[in-house]
Amino acid sequence: MLKATYYPGHSTTAKRVIERHLIREFGLKPRQATYHGSHIIEALHNKGIIEHVPEDTARNALFKINLRVLMNYKV
């Protein structure tokens, strides 16, 4: 999903990409997408695919995607 929708310079955060995907593909309501999206973000963070941007201290909502790990990741 992130491979298809995220590319360098993309203005949408990974969190919003994941939530939109859950809403469109699985028909979840926005609150459900936020809940399940947070678990997906946590799993991606544990695998080293994404990490928080250190400059975003106020909201802690921006992520940096490690494209090398993402491209090499096998499902």
pLDDT, one tens digit per residue, over 8-63 is: 555 566 778 788 889 988 999 999 998 998 888 888 888 888 877 777 666 666 67
Give this prediction's pTM. Answer: 0.64
Q: List, as one string, the DSSP characters of 7-44.
A: -TT-SS-HHHHHHHHHHHHH---HHHHHHHHHHHHHHH
Assign 39 to helix, strand or coil. Answer: helix
